[in-house]
Amino acid sequence: MYRAALEGALEDRDVSERERSILSSLATQLEFSPEVATRLEAEMAG
C-alpha cells in the first residue's frame, strides 16, 4: 500500500507537500519508522 502511494507521488520526481503529508500519515498508520519510510523512498526514487 505504501509503495503504491509512493509510486504515485514519485511519478513526476517531485513529492509535493500534500503528497508528503499523505505518505507521512500512511507510514504512521502502518507503523513504519521514519527511517523505513526514508529508505523506501530512496530505493524507489532510484
30: cell is 502502518
- In sequence order, what DSSP letters do the residues of 1-46 get, joined into one string? -HHHHHHHHHTTS---HHHHHHHHHHHHHTT--HHHHHHHHHHHH-
Torsions phi, psi for 15 (to 5 deg): -85, 115
Please report the pLDDT score of residue 46 as a whole number.
78
| Per-domain residue ranges of the chain | 2-45
Please report the pLDDT score of residue 13 as a whole number.
86
Q: What stretches in the chain show pLDDT beneath 70?
A: none
Instruction: Say what the pTM is.
Output: 0.83
What would you measure as the largest C-alpha separation in the chain, in angstroms?
27
Please report the pLDDT score of residue 4 as a whole number.
94
Contact in structure between 15 and 23 (CB atoms under 8 Å): yes
